[in-house]
With several copies, the nearest count.
Chain A
C-alpha cells in the first residue's frame, strides 16, 4: 500500500476540520496522553451521563493521523453507552495491530475504517491509537468518579 492511499481523503478531511475539538465543561475526567517517541500530545475530557458518553472534548498537537483519528473517535463514541464505546476501542485497536490483515467492519467503525491502511505502517500505529487510548483511560476514570459519587450519595 502506498502512503498516498494510507492518507485517505477522510483522514485529511478530519485533519483540516477536527470534530468536537476544544476543551469543554462539564466533564467527569480529564487525562493527558503523550507519545514520547514523536511528541504527539492530547489532553482529553470525557463527560458521562449515566452509562452514556455525553461528550468527549480535547485539545491536541500531532500529525494528521493522530489528530484525525481522535476526531473520528469522538464522532463514534459520543452518544453511545460506555460499554459500546469501549468495544469500539477494542475493535479499532485490534485493527491497528493487525498489520493490514484484518478486514474492518464498516458498519461498526464507519469513518475509522479509513485508518485500516495505517496498520501497514508500524511506526504510525501509535499515532492512530493516541486519542483512543486517552478516551479509554478517561472513560474509566469518569466511571470510577461517578461510582464514588453515588456511593457517597447513597450513604
Chain B
C-alpha cells in the first residue's frame, strides 16, 4: 500500500512529542492540523532569502516574493479545482472569508429578504449572518436537523425555507461536530432556482475531501489554511469569477484599489479588490506548500484514510459503556467527516463533563476538544451543553484511537469509583 501513515508521520516533527509517560495522541485536527516539515521550511526559506512586499515592490526580492505569493495562490486554486487563479481571495482565516461574503453579498439586502443557514453551523457561519441581518433588517432562517444529525430537508420543504425571498443560503459542507456531509449540490440547486447565492463553509471539507469548487454547485466557498496542514494567519474565499467581479469591496486600503482620489476611489478587479493591505505573504507560501503536500499524498488517499480511521473509531468507541456518539455512527455512502463527538457517563449515570474528560485524556497523552466546539446552537438543539470531540487526519493511527479508548475507560471508571 502506498499510503504509509508511519512514513507520513515522520514528516510532522510535533507528532513525536510525549506527554509525561505517554506518547502524544493528537486527536484534535478538526480544531487545527499539525504541519509537515516542508511547510515550515518553505516559510523559513521565504523569510531568510526572499522576503519583501509583493506587487508594489519590483526589485529582485520583490519579484521573488511576488512570484512566491502568486504561486501560492495558483497552487491553492489548483488544489480546489478553480477555473481561474483569480477566483481565490486570500483572507486571514475562514471566519474573515465568511464575513467578507456577508458584507459584500449582503450590501444591498433589505427588510423582507431572507438569509438561510442551519442549526449545525460553526459560529463563524452564524454570527456574520446575524450581524448582516441586524444591519439590513433582513430575516435569518435556518435548517433544523434530524435525529441522525442530518439537515432536515423534509421540514425545510414543508416550511418553504428556501423561497422567493431567499437571497443567500450559507451551509457547512462537513459539520465540525457531527461529521455530517451535507448535500451541497442539491441545496445549491434549490438556492439557484430562487435566484439566491449559495455560500459554502468548506473549513472541514477542503482538508479531507477532494474539492472541485466547480463541481460543488456553490458560488462562494470559504476555507482555512491551518486545518489543511498550512500555517495560521491565512484562509481563503473562492468565488465564481463573474460573481466576484460584481461584488463591492469589503475591507479598504492599499492593494485593493485602482485609482484613489480624496473625493472617491475605484477598485481593482478580483481577487485584489478583496485583499486590503499587505497580504499574508509568507503564509501563502506555506499554504501553497501545504497544497503541494496534500496533492502529492493524493486527496483520494487522504479521504480514504480518513474514512477508514473514522470507521475504526466509530466501531471501537461504540463498544464503550456510557459513551454516546452524536449524529451519524457510520461512514455511509454520503461519507462522513473525521470528527466524532460524544458524551460520556459513568455506569451509575453521572454525566462526566467534557472538560473533565479532556483533562483526564490529556493526562494520558490524548489531545481532544471538550466544549461546544463553536457550535452552541447545535448542542442546544441536541439538548446538551457540551461534548467531547476526537478528530482525525491524514497522520492518525489506529493505535491512537486505542489510546483514546483506554483513556476514556479509565476516566469513566475514575468518576464512577467516586460514587
Give, as a whole number of angstroms, the nearest-CB distance from B312 to chain A.
Answer: 27
The CA-CA distance from A127 to B56 in the complex, in Å, is 13
- Bound-state Cα–Cα, A124 to B62, Å: 12
* Contacts A3-B359, A61-B386, A63-B354 given; does A39 touch B62 at CB 8 Å: no
In the bound complex, residues from chain B placing their C-beta under 8 Å from that of A151 are none
The smallest C-beta distance from A5 to any residue of chain B, in angstroms, reads: 10
Chain B residues positioned under 8 Å from A27 (CB to CB): none
B370 touching A12 by the CB < 8 A rule? no
The count of chain A contact residues (Cβ–Cβ below 8 Å) is 28
Judged by a CB distance under 8 angstroms, whether A133 is at the interface is no
Asked if residues B258 and A36 are in contact (CB atoms below 8 Å), the reply is: yes
Partner of A124, one of B67, B257, B258, B359: B359
- Distance A62 CA – B67 CA, assembled complex (angstroms): 23
Q: How far is the CB of A51 from chain B (nearest CB, A)?
A: 30
Bound-state Cα–Cα, A13 to B419, Å: 8
Which one of A3, A36, A41, A122 contacts B363 once the chains associate, using CB atoms below 8 Å?
A3
Q: Shortest distance in angstroms between A67's beta carbon and chain B's nearest beta carbon? A: 8
Given A122-B67, A123-B66, A124-B58, A62:B418 Cβ within 8 A = no
Q: Please tell me if the beta carbons of B355 and A124 are within 8 angstroms of each other in the complex.
A: yes
**Residues of B contacting A36 with CB < 8 Å?**
255, 257-258, 268, 272
CB contact list, A1-49 vs B, under 8 A: 2-4, 6-7, 9, 12-13, 15-16, 34, 36-41
Contacts A3-B363, A123-B66 given; indicate if A38 touches B56 (C-beta within 8 A). yes
A65 within 8 A of B: yes
* B415 at the binding interface (Cβ < 8 Å): yes
**A64 on interface, CB distance cutoff 8 Å:** yes
Chain A CB within 8 A of B414 CB: yes
CB proximity of A68 to chain B, nearest CB, Å: 10
User: Counting CB contacts under 8 A, is B372 at the interface?
Assistant: yes
Map CB proximity to A onto B262-284 as digits: 1 under 8 Å, 0 otherwise. 00000010001000000000000
Q: List 25 A-B contacts (CB under 8 A).
A: A4-B363, A4-B414, A6-B359, A7-B414, A7-B418, A9-B418, A16-B418, A36-B257, A36-B272, A38-B370, A39-B371, A39-B385, A39-B386, A40-B355, A41-B259, A61-B385, A61-B386, A62-B353, A63-B370, A64-B353, A65-B356, A123-B62, A123-B63, A123-B66, A124-B359
